[in-house]
Structure formats: structure tokens, C-alpha cells
Amino acid sequence: MPRRKVPRVDARFKARYGSTVRKRWNLIMLKRIRSYECPKCKHKTVKRTAVGIWRCRKCGFTFAGGAYTPLTITRAVQVE
């Protein structure tokens, strides 16, 4: 069975900066881009608007969170 491919948003760097750094950056950026569940209306529409600021596109609920994920490991269970 073929292994599931990780989406690549680091393709823009081509061969630069080293594979390990690019892989690490890619995983963080995927978390940043992804839509998360809204704590208020439960729709999967929460997107990052700025560093630490997350906004639901359905109900407009805006809240402070982590830089790359709405919840950080130290504050709650890691959002995957």
C-alpha cells in the first residue's frame, strides 16, 4: 500500500536551506494554514488572521491563541 504523501507548501524553496529545515517548516505551515473547529459554533472554519489571532469565518468569533495553532500543547490537548 502506498504511503500517504504530506502536502508540500515548502516547494517554493526548491533545493535551498536543507531538507530537515524545509520539512520542519512545512509541518508548521500546514498547521498554520489548516481550518480548525470554532469553539463557539463548532464549524471547521477557524483561520489565522495574524500571529496568535484566530477568527471563525462562519460566526465571526475572534480569539487569541497560539502563533501557529489555535491551542498550544501547554494550554490544552494538542489540536491535530
Residue ranges binding Zn ion (CB under 5 A): 38, 40-41, 56, 58-59, 61
Q: Which of 9/39 has CB closer to Zn ion?
A: 39
Encoded amino acid at 37, one letter: E
SS (H, E, C) 18-47: CHHHHHHHHHHHHHHHCCECCCCCCCCCEE
Q: Which of 22/66 has CB closer to Zn ion?
A: 66
Backbone conformation region of residue 72, classed left if phi is above 0, alpha if psi is from -120 to 50, else beta: beta
Q: Which of 22/56 has CB closer to Zn ion?
A: 56
Q: How far is the CB of 57 from Zn ion (least distance, A)?
A: 8
